[in-house]
C-alpha cells in the first residue's frame, strides 16, 4: 500500500470516528449523562479528518507502468501539458484530479470463438476478397500507449481508445487489405505480404493517435463453406493425379527393368554366339594349319602315311603287305607266328 492510499484510509477513519463520537454524545445527552468537552473533541476530530482528507487528496502515487494526466482548474487549458511520471506526486487538493493511463502492452483480440475475444460471441472480421469470396479473419492487436503522448490520448480518446480506436481501425484496415488480394493468394503466396501491409497501415494509424503498435497478428482465416469444399475437392483431385502419376512412373520403371533384362539376355546371347563362332573359326584354322603341316610332311615323306597306318594296327592282327607298294592289307588267318628260340 502506498502513502496516498494510507492517508486516505486515515482520513476515512477520522471521519468515521467523528460520526461515532457525535452519535455517542447525542445518546448520552438524551439520557441526561452528557459527555464533557464534546464540542472541543468534536472539533479536534473534525480538524484531523479535514487535514487528512485534504492532504490525501493532494498526494498521488503513480505506478511504474502508469502515467498520470492532471485535470486542473488553474491551468489555462484545463489540464497540465506534461503527464505525471512514476512516484509520489503532489497536486492541488480538490482543484486538480489525476487520470491514470497504463503504458504497458495491451491486447485487443477479435475472434470467431465466443470466449476468446474482447467482445463475447463471434467477433471475427467479415471481408470480401478481390475475386468476391467471403472470408472471416481472426486478429489480435498488441499495442501500448506512447508515454510521450499520454496527454494527447487523454484529450482525444480518454479511456475509449480500445474500442473506438484500436477496434474500429483494425477492422477497417483488415477489410481494405483483404479486398486487394484473391482468396488463393491469402491462403498461400501473398499471406506474408498481406499481413505486412496491414501491420504498416495499423502502425501508422495508431501512431497518429498516440499509441504504439507492438504487433499485429492474424490468428486465423476461415473461408466460406463453398470455397472450403472446392479447395478440398481440388486437393483430393491433386492427390489422385499424383497417385496416378506415381503408378504410371512405377509401371514405366517396371517396363524399363524388363527391357533392360531382355537387353541383357540378348547381349549375353550375342556375346556367347560370337564366342562360339570365334572358337569354331580358331578350331578350323588350327585344323587347316594341322592339315597343311601334314600335307607338307606327306609331300616330303610319301611312306609316312603308311607308317602311321601300320602303327595304328593292333599288335595281335596278322597282316600281309601286297607287292607293288599296294596300300591294302589282308589278314592271314591260316598263318601262325613262328616262335624262335634264342640260345
220 vs 101, 124, 153, 236, 277, CA distance in Å? Answer: 31, 9, 30, 23, 79
Instruction: State the cell numbers at 204.
Output: 501508422
pLDDT of residue 150: 96
Each as own residue / partner, the long-range contacts of residues 235-244 (CB below 8 Å, 24 or more positions apart, any chain) are none
φ/ψ bin of 168: left (φ > 0), alpha (ψ from -120 to 50), beta (otherwise): alpha
pLDDT of residue 213: 95
Helix, coil or strand: residue 186: helix
Q: Are 211 and 146 in contact (CB under 8 A)?
A: yes
* Claim: this prediction has a pTM higher than 0.75: no
Give the Cα separation of 87 and 66 in Å (integer): 10
Cβ neighbors of 288 (< 8 A, separation 6 or more) are none
Instruction: State the cell numbers at 73.
Output: 482548474
φ, ψ dihedrals at 106, nearest 5°? -125, 155
Instruction: Provide the residue ranges of all domains of the chain, joining segments of one domain with +.
Output: 3-101, 106-223
Q: E strand or H helix at 232, and its extent? A: helix 225-300
Buried b / exposed e over 49-85, threshold 16 CB at 10 Å, is beebbebbbbbbbbeeebbbbbebeeeeeebbeebbe
Report strand pairing: 319-321 vs 106-110: unpaired
Look at residues 67, 59, 92 and name the one whose alpha carbon lies nearest to residue 151. 67
pLDDT of residue 65: 94
Look at residues 186, 192, 193, 218 and name the one whose alpha carbon lies nearest to residue 109. 218
Grid cell 470467431 is found at: 112
Q: How many helices (H) and strands (E) does the chain have?
A: 8, 10
Give the Cα separation of 142 and 105 in Å (integer): 7
pLDDT of residue 264: 82
Instruction: State the cell numbers at 119.
Output: 467482445
pLDDT of residue 230: 64
pLDDT of residue 335: 46
Q: Are 174 and 110 in contact (CB under 8 A)?
A: no
pLDDT of residue 256: 85
User: Which residues of the chain are under the pLDDT cut of 50?
Assistant: 332, 335-337, 339-341, 343
| From the candidate CATH numbers 3.30.460.20, 3.30.465.10, 3.30.479.30, 3.40.50.150, the one assigned to the domain spanning 106-223 | 3.30.479.30
Amino acid at each position: 500500500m502506498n502513502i496516498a492510499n494510507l492517508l486516505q484510509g486515515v482520513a476515512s477513519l477520522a471521519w468515521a470516528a467523528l460520526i461515532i463520537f457525535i452519535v455517542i454524545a447525542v445518546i448520552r445527552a438524551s439520557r441526561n449523562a452528557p459527555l464533557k468537552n464534546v464540542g472541543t473533541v468534536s472539533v479536534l476530530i473534525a480538524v484531523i479528518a479535514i487535514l487528512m482528507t485534504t492532504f490525501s487528496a493532494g498526494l498521488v502515487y503513480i505506478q511504474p507502468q502508469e502515467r498520470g494526466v492532471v485535470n486542473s482548474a488553474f491551468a489555462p487549458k484545463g489540464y497540465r501539458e506534461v503527464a505525471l511520471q512514476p512516484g509520489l506526486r503532489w497536486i492541488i487538493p480538490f482543484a486538480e484530479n489525476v487520470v491514470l493511463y497504463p503504458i504497458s502492452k495491451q491486447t485487443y483480440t477479435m475472434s470467431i470463438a465466443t470466449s476468446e475475444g474482447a467482445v463475447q460471441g463471434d467477433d471475427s472480421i467479415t471481408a470480401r476478397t478481390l475475386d468476391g469470396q467471403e472470408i472471416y479473419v481472426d486478429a489480435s492487436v498488441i499495442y501500448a500507449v506512447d508515454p510521450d503522448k499520454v496527454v494527447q490520448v487523454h484529450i482525444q480518446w480518454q479511456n475509449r481508445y480500445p474500442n473506438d480506436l484500436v477496434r474500429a481501425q483494425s477492422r477497417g484496415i483488415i477489410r481494405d487489405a483483404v479486398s486487394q488480394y484473391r482468396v488463393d493468394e491469402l491462403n498461400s503466396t501473398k499471406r506474408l505480404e498481406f499481413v505486412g501491409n496491414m501491420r504498416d497501415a495499423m502502425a501508422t494509424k495508431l501512431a497518429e493517435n498516440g499509441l504504439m503498435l507492438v504487433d499485429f497478428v492474424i490468428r486465423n482465416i476461415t473461408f466460406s463453406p463453398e470455397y472450403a469444399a472446392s479447395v478440398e475437392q481440388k486437393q483430393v483431385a491433386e492427390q489422385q493425379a499424383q497417385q496416378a502419376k506415381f503408378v504410371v512412373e512405377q509401371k514405366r520403371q517396371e517396363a524399363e527393368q524388363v527391357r533392360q533384362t531382355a537387353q541383357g539376355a540378348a547381349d549375353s546371347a550375342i556375346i556367347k554366339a560370337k564366342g562360339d563362332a570365334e572358337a569354331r573359326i580358331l578350331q578350323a584354322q588350327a585344323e587347316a594349319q594341322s592339315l597343311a603341316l601334314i600335307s607338307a610332311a606327306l609331300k616330303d615323306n610319301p611312306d609316312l602315311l603308311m607308317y602311321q597306318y601300320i602303327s595304328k594296327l593292333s599288335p595281335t592282327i596278322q597282316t600281309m603287305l601286297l607287292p607293288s607298294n599296294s596300300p591294302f592289307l589282308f589278314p592271314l588267318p591260316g598263318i601262325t607266328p613262328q616262335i624262335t628260340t634264342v640260345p
